Amino acid sequence: MTRILSIGEIMMEMSDMGGGLYRKSFAGDTFNMAHYIRLVSGGRIDVDYLTAIGQDTESDDCLKFMQKEGVGTDRVFRDANRTIGLFILSNDPKGEKQYGYWRGQSAARFLFDQPHDLSGYELVYLSGITAAITEQKNNLVQSVSQARHKGGFFAFDLNYRPKLWSITEAEAFADQILPLMGLVKISDEE
């Protein structure tokens, strides 16, 4: 069976339902990719998710959500001192989606405080958001490089967000990571 690893941050999503009511769910760019591959493949592709979450109730709910959706959670690390990030989703008067983010307490930011073994997968996927929030980017690059030299195939979605890091920081990271990628997605704006 094909095995895919997606790396990043899953966040608690609070969607404004109107009247002061919010619906809780969980989402994030790289988690959404993992979830949809699992869904579209009808379970014929195993997808693991590498992230870090807390040991609190919201993180427990998040882990249950991932398991319910069929995304592998063996690579989910639990951090006793942090939790998951939060975003609030609403619409402006024209109906355009508006996002507000709270990431300061996110355990995923510290996922690469040490390198990880990323080998053993047919495809490993990460994004610019994964890189932007990662505190120890050198450990992320080292992990990718080691798995690449073992024959791993990597895909990278630049997904540049100027609120997360400067263009200079993103370009410096891209200079390191792009030579290691087998597939890169960059939008026209990026």
In a 3-state reduction of DSSP, which class is residue 114? coil
Tens digit of each residue's pLDDT (9 = 90 or more) over 74-97: 999 999 999 999 999 888 888 888
| Strands, E assignment, 123-170 | 123-127, 154-157
| Distance (Å, whole) CA 4 – CA 147 | 13
Percent of the chain with pLDDT over 90: 87
| Strands, E assignment, the chain | 2-7, 11-18, 21-27, 45-54, 76-79, 85-91, 97-102, 123-127, 154-157, 183-185
- Contact, 181 vs 152, CB < 8 A? no
- Contact, 159 vs 127, CB < 8 A? yes
Residue 14 CB coordination number (10 Å): 16
Q: Say what the pTM is.
A: 0.94
> Which residues are bridge partners to 127 per DSSP?
157
More confident: 43 or 142? 142
Tens digit of each residue's pLDDT (9 = 90 or more) over 90-127: 888 888 888 889 999 999 999 999 999 999 999 999 99
More confident: 32 or 95? 32
